[in-house]
Structure formats: structure tokens, C-alpha cells
Amino acid sequence: MTRLVLDVDTGIDDTLALCYLLASPEAELMGVVGTYGNVTARDSVRNNHAVLRLFGREDIPVMLGCEAPSWADLFEVDEGCARFHGANGLGNVDPACYLPDDDAAEVGESRDDTNAAHDAACDGAADVRDDRASAARPSVAAFRDRLTKSVGGERVDVATTAADAALADAAAASREGDGVRFIVDAVRKHGRDVTIVATGPLTDVDAAIRLAPDIVPNLRLVIMGGSLTQEGNCYDLICETNIFQDPEAANRVFRSGADVTMIGLDVTHQCLMTRADADRWRATGTRRGAFLADMVRFYINANEASDPIFLAGSPLHDPLAAAVSLDPTLVGLFDVNMMTETATGNGHGFRGRTIGDPTRLREPRKTAHVALTVDAPRFTARFRDRLAGLCAA
Ligand code: CA
């Protein structure tokens, strides 16, 4: 058995990663932390609850992670994320609408009322919100004229309003909140017998390390993020999206000494999901199969519209990281001490680029292991079959 904590910005491929772990008998999923990125952290928590409910795994705890990057007071989803993941992160498909009628009736929801169904599927997230709202914390943000907002990784300075100040205070509290503390506690308790799988920005992991530096020697991390040999996938095509959201956090994590397996675009762009995969899940004739097929149809359409190279299929970013956390033989790893550049135009690179760390080039211990090759046929077949099994169960 492999013990795991999943940290996600849920997200269609985050959902597929979560489902892959649910479908894997060798995975013991301790908890799911929802962070910002493809959606807000609160929407990620909502999505995690809803997906776990649909797949009958409400026993797995869901926590709220960081609500904004380490460098920003506030976070707003950018238009690009909504284009690939839908406004709700799940391709505008609502998992609650795929619950059996009995379950829908049980919570007194009309299946046409997607907002109410979402809320009902997200009791835990509502609790978290209530906790944040009721926590008596001195407001830092309220005393500043301007706040720094990240719009999908791009910096925007905004005049402080009372509403934004409240959100900024909640975001500041989230850096030491339940999700971050869950990661700290899991590593302190289980050491190297737990793997943290992070498929969003690295803000939560960075916050955990800053809160509890003692966890670093035992921190085993598998991330979806970065790119070493390929173009990036945002803006200037140099950066990968997860890293671009919080380059400072990624840089601190890479340079912390923690053991990081990096599943980047080098390999995820080799592992493609096709309409035939979705058809296979739909052919199970189950509500869960219909949910996955409907959700990924949005993702496949968006990828096809974005780049002709994705006419062959849509990249399985986050599911590959989940799969490698269980079976490292799926990839070939290149050991190197990595860093993330945090500034553009200073003669040293591009903010958000992942690259070898020249200051640690000669150090014998290499803390990062970057996947550069992948057995794509073996992984994609396993992915398709395991999810089909999960739908049919
Ligand atoms: Ca993700």
C-alpha cells in the first residue's frame, strides 16, 4: 500500500487524478487538500467533496489549502483556466446531478438546481468558510491602501475594498490553515511512508515547509508541474501553469532539500486521453461513467481548440503524477538539483521557468528527479481501465 495526501486545484485533470487514486487498490488516500489555481481554493474544496460523494468516498477528509499565492494577497482565476476546465472547474458539469435519485432526494435537491446541489454536496466547505469568517483575527489588509492580486499568476495591484480586505485576511489565515497543517501532520506522523502528490501550485507545500521546517528531510513529494526540455504552456510558452502561479513557492520547495519527483510537460504531453477513453467510461452505463465522459468532453474540446497537436488527444497531466506516485517505473527520471526563476529581465531568466540550479550543480546529492521519458502506452491503458473499473464498481 502507498499512503498519499493529494493536493489539488480541482480542475478536470485533478479530478481524473483523484479518481485514478480511488480506483487504485494499492493507494491509501489519507486526505485531499483543495488549493487555488484552475479554480479558487474554495471551489476546489467544493469539487473534491462533490466528486468523493459521487464515488462513494465521503470518508476521505477534504481540507482547504492556501487561497492565494505566497506573493499575493488575493487570487482570481484567469480566463485561460476557465477555458480548459469550465467556470466550475469540472467542465461545467455538476457531479451532484449524477447522484442516484434517492441520494438527490435525501438532501432535498432538485437535480435541475445546480447551485443548490453544489452547496449540498459541499457541506464541509461551508464549514470551512464559516470557520474562516468567525475566526477573530486582526486584519492586516484593512490597513493598507492597495492589495496585490494574482490573476492566474499575473500581478495586478488593486485599491483595497472592505470585501477584498476580508478575502485577503482569509487568504493569509489559509497559509497556516487546515490543509497546510494536514500536510505537516501527515509527514510528521508517517515520515517517508507518506507521499504528498501536488497537482496545483506549490503554495501549500511551501507553506507547510515554512510552518514546520523539520518535515523537510522526510518530505516525499511528487508534483505535476514545470518543464525541463519542452516549451511551457502559458503566456510566453516558457513556463508551466502550476509553477507560474507561484514561482517563489516552487523555488523554495525545489531548494529546500526535500525529495521532489517532477512530472512536467516533458512527459505529460506524451500521455493523451481520447474520445475513445470517454466512450469506454460511458459504456459502463453508470452515472459515474456518464459524469466522467461528460466532464472530459469539455476538456477534449478545449484542448483541440487550443492547439492542433492536441487533435491526437488531451494531455493527462495530473493523472500521470498520481500514477507515478504509485508506480515510479512508469517514467525514466533524470536526477538534478532544480530551481525556479523568479524574475524576468534581470539577465538570469524568466519568472516561472524551471531549470537546473547552478549553485547546486556540483552537489553530489540530487534532490529533484525529473521525468523525461514515460511508458505512455502502459500508463494510458492502465488509466483508462482503472477508471472504467471505478465507474462500473
Ligand atoms: Ca491541477
Q: Give the DSSP H/E element, type plus range, for residue 232.
A: none
pLDDT in tens, 212-245: 999 999 999 999 999 999 999 987 889 999 999 9
pLDDT value at 127 more than 50: no
Helical H runs in the chain? 12-22, 41-54, 79-85, 101-106, 114-120, 123-134, 162-174, 178-190, 203-211, 241-245, 247-255, 265-268, 275-282, 287-306, 317-326, 376-392
Residue 341: all three cell numbers together: 526563476
Ligand 1 centroid to Cα of residue 62, in Å, is: 16
* 201 Cα–ligand 1 center, Å: 8
Among 54-58, 107-111, 350-354, the minimum mean pLDDT is found in 107-111
Cell output for 34? 483543495
Query: Percentage of the chain with pLDDT > 70?
Result: 90
Tell me what the pLDDT averaged over the chain comes to.
Answer: 91
Q: Which residues contact 288 (CB under 8 A, 6 or more apart)?
A: 54, 55, 98, 281, 390, 391
DSSP annotation of 239 reads B
Catalytic residue selected from 269, 317, 348, 369: 317
Residue with cell 490543509: 179
Whether the predicted pLDDT of 300 surpasses 60: yes
Q: For 305-361, what is each residue's pLDDT tens digit?
A: 999 999 999 999 999 999 999 999 999 999 999 999 999 987 778 999 999 999 999
Of 40-54, 152-166, 202-216, give the lowest mean pLDDT range: 152-166
Tens digits of per-residue pLDDT, 14-41? 999 999 999 999 999 999 999 999 999 9
> What is the whole-number distance in angstroms between the Cα of residue 374 and the centre of ligand 1?
19
Total residue length of the chain: 393
* Ligand 1 centroid to residue 130 C-alpha, Å: 26
Does this model's pTM top 0.85? My answer is yes
Query: Is 85 a catalytic site residue?
Result: no
Predicted confidence band at 78 (pLDDT cuts at 50, 70, 90)? very high
Q: What percent of the chain has pLDDT over 90?
A: 84
